[in-house]
Amino acid sequence: MTAVQKRIIINKLALAFSTLSAIIALAFLFWILGVLVMKGVHALNWNIFIYEGSPPGYAESGLKHALVGQLILVGLATFIGVPLGILAGTYLSEYGKNSKLAHTIRDISDIMMSAPSIVIGAFVYAVVVMPMGHFSAWAGAIALAIIMIPVILRTTDDMLQLVPGTLREAAFALGAPKYKVIIDIVYRGAKAGILTGVLLGIARVGGETAPLLFTSFNDNFFTTDLNEAMPSLTVTMFNYAISPYDDWQQLGWAAAFILSMFILGLNIMGRLILLMGKRK
């Protein structure tokens, strides 16, 4: 065998391996997606949206408590996390720029983005749940907000930097004070980008289970009291899935399907907004 032939054979083998790994990866991914869709759609029915949790064996059991709880938790987290994230991102892009402090904050926030979310849960347990003496929706929302802030900070920072400096200078030349320039010119220019960041931030925390396990805990009944333990789709899913009852497991899959669709929708919406913003 000549050297060239050998190289050609090795080339074919390597490319075949690479194609094979793509097929293996796709197969697993479709397996998981398939399971999620089949099980989820099978378990879906109107009762899920009408009834709250009940002991296993009752036909009239649903996920209303967890759906509403999930919306409250994520809504509260958005309410806390979004303003803080946007303001912090504004500081980095408009005031801090290339200063050492700004770079340190960017770096730390980047690390926080990948930090284990269960540790955040432990932290919030120590500073919110322990002093209060009980689990609460507030604690869960704070844990989610802490996870959300770095995501929004990062995208806000990036998106504001995309606004051309000449726009700012033009506004300054007209005598506008800096805060007015930021709010009326920079924010307006980066509107689509900031909105995308917010949606991605919500999507990021929407699927979190670990930080809620010992902050908002769980509850099998409908509640809107923010000072009480609050059910969420993710923790409910977890509890139902590890339970030995078939109908609870079914509800778990329904919850998994609904939540995935919700998060997927947020992700797609975020990208669409960004695309439309670019096209203009």
Kindly state whether residue 127 participates in binding other proteins, applying the rule CB under 8 A. yes
As given in the structure block, the two tokens for residue 45 are: 């029915």
89, burial (CB in 10 Å: exposed 0-12, middle 13-18, buried 19+) = buried
Kindly state whether residue 67 participates in binding other proteins, applying the rule CB under 8 A. no
Judged by beta carbon, residue 61 or residue 215, the one nearer other proteins is 215
Kindly state whether residue 153 participates in binding other proteins, applying the rule CB under 8 A. yes
Kindly state whether residue 119 participates in binding other proteins, applying the rule CB under 8 A. yes
Kindly state whether residue 116 participates in binding other proteins, applying the rule CB under 8 A. yes
Instruction: Tell me 95's DSSP state.
Output: I
Binding residue (CB under 8 A) for other proteins from 66, 105, 148, 254: 105
Report the nearest approach of other proteins to the CB of residue 252 (Å).
7
Instruction: Tell me 210's DSSP state.
Output: G
In one letter, which amino acid is 247? D
Kindly state whether residue 272 participates in binding other proteins, applying the rule CB under 8 A. no
Separation of CA 202 from chain center: 4
Question: Total number of residues binding other proteins (CB under 8 A)?
Answer: 87
> Looking at 51-59, 72-80, 165-173, 211-219, which segment touches other proteins (CB under 8 A)?
211-219
> Looking at 29-37, 44-52, 70-78, 163-171, which segment touches other proteins (CB under 8 A)?
29-37
Q: Which of residues 173-202 bind other proteins (CB under 8 A)?
A: 177-179, 182
Instruction: Tell me 263's DSSP state.
Output: H
Nearest to 120 by CA among 46, 209, 17: 209
Nearest to 61 by CA among 255, 263, 224: 255
